[in-house]
Amino acid sequence: MSIFHPQTSAQREQRDVLLASSLRPDGSPFPIAAEYPLVLGESGTQYSFCLGEPEAPLAHANLWPRRLISQTHDVVLTVGLIGNVATSSDHRGQGLMRTLFSELKSAASAQGLEGLVLWSDLVEFYQKLGFKSCGSELRWQFSRDKLRSLFLRQSNFAKIKNLSTHEAQRLLSLRYPVPFTLDRSPQEFQTLTKIPEVTLLASGHKDATYVILGKGCDMTCVVHEWGAPSAEALLMGVLAAAETADLPEIVLLTPKTLAQSWCQKMRPHAVAYAKHSMALSWWPDHSRAPDPLASSFIWGLDSI
Ligand SMILES: CC(C)(COP(=O)(O)OP(=O)(O)OC[C@H]1O[C@@H](n2cnc3c(N)ncnc32)[C@H](O)[C@@H]1OP(=O)(O)O)[C@@H](O)C(=O)NCCC(=O)NCCS
């Protein structure tokens, strides 16, 4: 048994069979590689770590190097994002994932990455591998009808299907400013908006606002990325997303650093809101995530 990157299309196919059976057990209308184009696509082979034999992978995880940047675009940390973690059902409980994670930690250190970050509800499992909760975000729940009653005028959001590089750059500049976030190029943004079930809505130039709803099989009723000049414009965007996708209830994720003035305007119109842990992370020499990561906000399209 060895650790390898799936080099041929046959090897990637076998990997995707393992991932689909483990992570999409009820089936999916699209291939799992379409949900994670930057790490499961042909050009992302080096981010794919398999354990087993090249034609028969038994366990898999992605390790994707990313840069955490400040508002002035200075790189403050380099981290490895982990995702698509799966062991073949008849080989679970034999220590394969522990072995693969030990390899990922060595690979991360060899690549100069300072720590590892992932998103999962399997907190107990990842705690066994040395991960701890890090950061937090606000999760808002809205009712479409309640939001509808707020606005007298019709909003002018339109679906964007083919994002140009120029438009991608413009939308990135509209995002709500956060102390730290992951760096993303306009080209990566273009690719990520092609993920199935991603709905990108943007409104005209005056109150320029955009919202992104859904991402493959994840975040089905969740606006996980947005840019807006005011709380009102953001709520209009959330309403537009709920109407476009015909969702009676919709969730919005915001940084925990969202200005108090925005929170005060949004709270009376929310059905519920609460602070949640943002991610899980592992650091070789520290027991806690370093401050920049702990106070960062990671937009939904950047997670794997
Ligand atoms: C979760 C999963 C990847 C674990 O892989 P695995 O190869 O069975 O894990 P290991 O055998 O290396 O287990 C490592 C440790 O975690 C524990 N563990 C395994 N699965 C666990 C779970 N679901 N919850 C809590 N602990 C778990 C093991 O008991 C072991 O602990 P120990 O070393 O103290 O005895 C595998 O069960 C799987 O593919 N599940 C379906 C897909 C999935 O949920 N992926 C994660 C998505 S974020």
102-112 pLDDT, tens digit each: 999 999 999 99
Q: Cβ(32)–Cβ(14) under 8 Å?
A: no
Neighbours of 116 (CB within 10 A): 24
| C-beta 233 within 6 A of ligand 1 | no
For ligand 1, whether the C-beta of 68 sits within 6 Å is no
Q: What percentage of the chain carries pLDDT values higher than 70?
A: 99
Regarding whether 166 and 45 lie in a shared domain, the answer is no
Identity of the amino acid at 68 = L
Atom 33 of ligand 1 has which residue's CA nearest to it?
95
Return the closest-CA partner of residue 91 out of 52, 50, 48. Answer: 52
pTM: 0.96
3-state helix, strand, coil in the chain (%, to 5): 35, 30, 35
Residue 302 lies in a domain: no
Summarised one tens digit per residue, pLDDT across range 169-186 is 999 999 999 999 999 999
Contact, 226 vs 187, CB < 8 A? Answer: no
Q: Is 85 near ligand 1, meaning CB less than 6 Å away?
A: yes
| Ligand 1 pocket member 88 (CB < 6 A) | no
Q: Are residue 55 and residue 185 in the same domain, yes or no?
A: no
Both 218 and 269 in one domain: the answer is yes
Give, using CA atoms, the residue closest to atom 20 of ligand 1.
Answer: 125
Say whether both 30 and 107 belong to one domain.
yes
- 300 within some domain: no
- Work out the number of other CB atoms within 10 angstroms of the CB of residue 115: 23
Computed over every residue of the chain, the mean pLDDT equals: 96
Are residue 144 and residue 113 in the same domain, yes or no? Answer: no
Same domain, 67 and 182: no
What count of other Cβ atoms lies within 10 Å of the Cβ of residue 272?
10
- pLDDT tier at 205, thresholds 50, 70, 90: low
| Residues 255 and 297: beta-carbon distance below 8 Å | yes
* 167: confidence class by pLDDT, cuts 50, 70, 90: very high
What range defines the domain where residue 178 resides?
A: 137-278
Which pLDDT band holds residue 41 (cuts at 50, 70, 90)?
very high
Query: How far is Cα of residue 83 from the mean position of the Cα atoms in its chain?
Result: 10
